[in-house]
Chain A
Amino acid sequence: MSGHDSKYFSTTKKGEIPELKEELNSQYKDKRKDAVKKVIAAMTVGKDVSSLFTDVVNCMQTENLELKKLVYLYLINYAKSQPDLAILAVNTFVKDSQDPNPLIRALAVRTMGCIRVDKITEYLCDPLQKCLKDDDPYVRKTAAICVAKLFDINAELVEDRGFLEALKDLISDNNPMVVANAVAALAEIQENSTSPIFEINSTTLTKLLTALNECTEWGQVFILDALSRYKAADPREAENIVERVTPRLQHANCAVVLSAVKMILQQMELITSTDVIRNLCKKMAPPLVTLLSAEPEIQYVALRNINLIVQKRPTILAHEIKVFFCKYNDPIYVKMEKLEIMIKLASDRNIDQVLLEFKEYATEVDVDFVRKAVRAIGRCAIKLERAAERCISVLLELIKIKVNYVVQEAIIVIKDIFRRYPNTYESIIATLCESLDTLDEPEAKASMIWIIGEYAERIDNADELLESFLESFPEEPAQVQLQLLTATVKLFLKKPTEGPQQMIQVVLNNATMETDNPDLRDRAYIYWRLLSTDPEAAKDVVLAEKPVITDDSNQLDPSLLDELLTNISTLSSVYHKPPEAFVTRLKTTAQKTEDEDFAEGSEAGYSSSNPVDSAASPPATTGNIPQPAGRQPAPTPAAPAPVPDLLGDLMGLDNAAIVPVDEPATPSGPPLPVVVPASTGQGLQISAQLSRRDGQVFYSMLFENNSQAVLDGFMIQFNKNTFGLAAAGPLQIPPLHPGTSARTMLPMVLFQNLSPGPPSSLLQVAVKNNQQPVWYFTDKIILHALFGEDGRMERGTFLETWRSLPDSNEVQREFPGITITSVESTIDLLTAFNMFFIAKRKNGNQDVIYLSAKVPRDVPFLIELTAMVGQPGLKCAVKTPTPEIAPLFFEAIELLFKA
Chain B
Amino acid sequence: MMISQFFVLSQRGDNIVFRDYRAEVPKGSTETFFRKVKFWKEDGNAEAPPIFNVDGVNYFHVKVVGLYFVATTRVNVSPSLVLELLQRIARVIKDYLGVLNEDSFRKNFVLVYELLDEVIDFGYVQTTSTEVLKSYIFNEPIVVAPARLQPIDPAAIFTQGAKRMPGTAVTKSVVANEPGGRRREEIFVDIIEKISVTFSSSGYILTSEIDGTIQMKSYLSGNPEIRLALNEDLNIGRGGRSVYDYRSSSGSGVILDDCNFHESVRLDSFDSDRTLSLVPPDGEFPVMNYRMTQEFKPPFHVNTLIEEAGRLKAEVIIKIRAEFPSDIVANTITVQMPLPNYTSRASFELELGAAGQRTDFKESNKILEWSLKKIVGGGEHTLRAKLTFSQEFHGNITKEAGPVSMTFTIPMYNVSKLQVKYLQIAKKSSSYNPYRWVRYVTQANSYVARI
Of A113, A116, A217, A778, the residue contacting B23 (CB under 8 A) is A116
Could you tell me the distance between the alpha carbons of A258 and B26 in the complex, rounded to whole angstroms? 30
Cα A293 to Cα B114 in complex, Å, equals 32
Which residue of chain B is the closest to A365 with respect to CB atoms? B338
The reply to whether B80 and A258 contact each other, CB–CB distance below 8 Å, is yes
Q: Which residues of B contact A330 (CB under 8 A)?
A: 446
Interface flags for A41-57 (1: CB within 8 Å of B; 0: not) read 10010000000000000
Within 8 A of B (CB), among A63-82: 65-66, 69-70, 73
A-B contact count (CB 8 A): 244
B80 touches A302 (CB 8 A): yes
Complex contacts, A287 vs chain B, CB 8 Å: 258, 260
Interface of chain A residues 236 through 295 with chain B (CB within 8 A): 250-255, 257-259, 282, 286-287, 289-290, 293, 295
Partner of B49, one of A142, A293, A333, A594: A333
Which residues 36-61 of B sit at the A interface, judged by CB distance below 8 A? 46-56, 58, 61
8 A Cβ contacts from A84-100 to B: none
CB-based contact B49/A300 at 8 Å = yes
Tell me, rounded to whole Å, the shortest Cβ–Cβ distance linking A556 to chain B: 18
Inter-chain contacts of A289 with B (CB < 8 A): 257-258, 291
Which A residues lie within 8 Å of B18 (CB)? 44
| Cα–Cα, bound, A322→B161 (Å) | 37
From B1, B51, B142, B394, contact of A222 by CB (8 A)? B1
B198 interface contact, C-beta 8 A: yes
Closest residue on chain A to residue B43 by CB atoms: A367
Contact A149 B243 (CB under 8 A): no
Residues of B near A146 (CB, < 8 A) are 122
CB distance from A737 to the nearest CB of B (A): 34
Contacts of A760 in B (CB 8 A): 26
- Chain A's nearest CB lies how many Å from the CB of B135? 8
The reply to whether B77 and A571 contact each other, CB–CB distance below 8 Å, is yes
Report if A599-B74 is in contact (Cβ < 8 Å); known contacts: A145-B121, A187-B1, A360-B403: no
For A250, give its contact among B79, B126, B198, B260 (CB under 8 Å).
B260
Q: With an 8 A cutoff between CB atoms, is A591 at the interface? A: yes
Report the minimal beta-carbon distance from B67 to chain A, rounded to whole angstroms: 14
Give every chain B residue within 8 A of A177 (Cβ-Cβ). 126-127
Closest partner residue, chain A, to B267 (CB atom): A250
Chain A's interface size range is: 35 or more
Scoring B residues 71 to 84 as 1 if CB is less than 8 Å from chain A, else 0, what string do you get? 00011111111011
Judging by beta carbons under 8 Å apart, are B142 and A301 in contact? Answer: no
B223 within 8 A of A: no
Write the nearest CB–CB distance from A198 to chain B, whole angstroms. Answer: 13
Choose, from B101-109, B247-255, B433-441, the stretch at the interface.
B101-109
**Within 8 Å CB of A401, what residues of B?**
394, 396, 399-400
A297 at the interface (CB under 8 A from B): yes
9 pairs of residues in contact across A and B, judged by CB atoms under 8 Å: A4-B107, A218-B127, A221-B81, A328-B403, A329-B445, A332-B47, A573-B79, A583-B56, A597-B49
Kindly list the 10 A-B residue pairs having the minimum CB-CB distance in the complex, ordered from nearest. Answer: A327-B446, A286-B258, A584-B56, A297-B50, A255-B81, A319-B242, A333-B49, A293-B211, A218-B125, A585-B74
B-contacting residues of A (Cβ < 8 Å)? Answer: 3-6, 9, 37, 40-41, 44, 65-66, 69-70, 73, 103, 110, 113-114, 116, 138, 141-142, 145-146, 148-149, 152, 177, 181, 184, 187-188, 191, 216-218, 221-222, 225, 250-255, 257-259, 282, 286-287, 289-290, 293, 295-298, 300-302, 319-320, 322-323, 325, 327-333, 353, 356, 360, 363, 365, 368, 400-402, 567, 569-575, 579, 582-585, 591, 593-595, 597-599, 760, 762, 778, 887
Given contact pairs A218-B128, A569-B79, enumerate 13 new A-B contacts (beta carbons under 8 Å). Answer: A5-B107, A5-B111, A44-B18, A66-B114, A145-B121, A188-B2, A257-B80, A293-B211, A322-B293, A333-B50, A573-B79, A583-B74, A778-B27
Residues of B within 8 A of A (CB): 1-2, 17-18, 22-24, 26-27, 46-56, 58, 61-62, 74-81, 83-85, 87, 106-111, 113-114, 117, 121-122, 124-129, 136, 138-139, 142, 196, 198, 206-207, 209, 211, 237, 240, 242-244, 257-263, 286, 288-289, 291, 293, 338, 365, 394-396, 399-400, 403, 405, 445-448, 450
